[in-house]
Amino acid sequence: MSAPIQKSAAKTRAATQVVTGNRLTDGVVVYLDSAGGWSERLNDARVVEGAEALEAALAAGKAAEAAQVVVEAYPIDVKREPDGLRALRVREDIRARGPSVRVDLERPLGA
């Protein structure tokens, strides 16, 4: 993998978050974007700060669940790095980038 897998921060909520889920038709990891759509790229995700913004993003996620777009929308902690957004927990870092043991299937952060 091009960059080492992130060691997770503690499970406390970070200041910046995005909403993610798996696309219903094929299970692919997607992120709620600024236009209200769902992108496969973490870098496209709508970054929210604060309880109110998170609540609105989650409401959009639940609406997408009801509309059969995604399965189980939920928030994750992210941080901004020079090469793009980075998920803070190991699990979400791997979800964003693909299996760490299959470089050929890796999804670069900016891709």
Partner 1 sequence: MYRYDEFDHDFVRARVAQFADQVERRLSGELTEDQFKPLRLMNGVYLQLHAYMLRIAVPYGTLSAKQMRMLAQIARKYDRGYGHFTTRQNLQFNWPALKDVPAILADLASVEMHALQTSGNCIRNVTSDHFAGAAADEVADPRPYAEILRQWSSIHPEFSFLPRKFKLCVIAAEHDRAAMQTHDIGLQLKRNAEGELGFAVFVGGGQGRTPMIAHKVRDFLPEEDLLAYVEAIMRVYNLHGRRDNKFKARIKILVHETGVEEITRQIEAEFAEVLKADLLRLPEDEIDRIRAYFAAPELAEKPARSGAFEAAKADSREFTAFAENNVSPHKAPGYGIVTVSLKPIGGIPGDASAEQMEVVADLAERYSQSEIRVSHEQNLVLPHVALDDMPALYATLAEHGLATGNAGLVTDIIACPGLDYCALANARSINIAQDLSNRFGSPERQEEIGELSIKISGCINACGHHHVGHIGLLGVDKRGEEVYQITLGGSADETAAVGTLVGPGFKTDEVGDAVETVVDTYLKLREGPDENFLAAVRRLGQKPFKEALYGAA
- CA–CA separation, 62 and 69 (whole Å): 10
Report in angstroms how near the CB of residue 12 gets to partner 1 at its nearest. 10
Q: What is the largest CA-CA distance in the chain?
A: 39
**Contacting residues toward partner 1, per CB under 8 A:** 5, 7-11, 22, 24-29, 65, 67-68, 71-72, 89-91, 94-95, 98-102, 105
- Contact between residue 78 and residue 52 where contact means Cβ atoms under 8 Å apart: no
Q: Are the beta carbons of 17 and 42 closer than 8 angstroms?
A: no
Comparison of 53 and 107: residue with beta carbon closer to partner 1: 107
Give the count of alpha carbons within 13 A of 64, CB side only.
27
In angstroms, give the least distance from the CB of 94 to partner 1.
6
Closest to partner 1 by CB, 11 vs 52, is 11
For the bound state, the minimum distance from the C-beta of residue 78 to partner 1, rounded and expressed in Å, comes to 14
In whole angstroms, what is the distance from residue 13 CA to residue 85 CA? 16
The nearer residue to partner 1, 14 or 53, going by C-beta atoms, is 14
Determine how β-strand 70-81 pairs with β-strand 84-87. Answer: antiparallel
Indicate the residue among 53 and 94 with the shorter CB distance to partner 1.
94
> CB of 96: closest distance to partner 1 in angstroms?
10
